[in-house]
Amino acid sequence: MSTVIVLTPIVIASWPAITAAVAAAAAGLGLSVREELRSEEAVEAENQAEVELENSEVLAQGMALGKELVLTQGEMTIRVRRDERGQCRVCAEGKGHSKQELKQMAEAFSQKLVQSYAYHRTVSELKNKEFQMVHEDVAEDGTIRLHVRRWVD
């Protein structure tokens, strides 16, 4: 053994990179995703809950104004957007759910999004440094485990 570090991901990405991470997170949860213009249609406050992705910054480059990502599953809708300050926000909407349930859904998706982002960022960096994948799996609790190796002269 030599060293162990624990990192808290910082999500700083362009809109296309966020879109890719959202798509990966959505696929993992069986949600379909599409990009559309932000709806001006008002949703009753008790039917929605929004959370802010901590440590996030969505770069404006490559992003059409007013766009958001919409994920749906049955009556449930999750919206992902960049707010005025450049942070990423996740909103869960749906009738027949309590405010608390909607908040939990928004938080659960936010976590999945951060995990997807961290996974793709990590794998991409490892590839750049010519690490080879020895083993990869997903534990029952959803933790992704990677074992990579490289040889140096």
Binding positions for another protein, rule: CB under 8 A: 1-10, 55, 111-112, 114-115, 117-119, 121-122, 125-126, 128-129, 131, 134, 141-153
Beta bridge partners of 88: 82
Tell me the closest approach of the beta carbon of residue 72 to another protein, in angstroms.
Answer: 23
Residue 138: in which H helix or E strand, if any?
strand 132-138
* 47 vs 104 by CB, closer to another protein: 104
The pair of structure tokens assigned to 35 is: 């990009």
Tell me the closest approach of the beta carbon of residue 115 to another protein, in angstroms.
Answer: 4
Angle made by CA atoms 34, 72, 35, in degrees to the nearest 5: 15
* 43 vs 123 by CB, closer to another protein: 123
> Which distant-in-sequence residues (6+ apart) come within 8 Å of 111 by Cβ?
none
* 97 vs 112 by CB, closer to another protein: 112
* 21 vs 93 by CB, closer to another protein: 21
Tell me the closest approach of the beta carbon of residue 136 to another protein, in angstroms.
Answer: 9
Measured CA distances, 49 to 33, 78, 97, 104, 136 (Å) = 19, 10, 10, 9, 35
Tell me the closest approach of the beta carbon of residue 131 to another protein, in angstroms.
Answer: 7
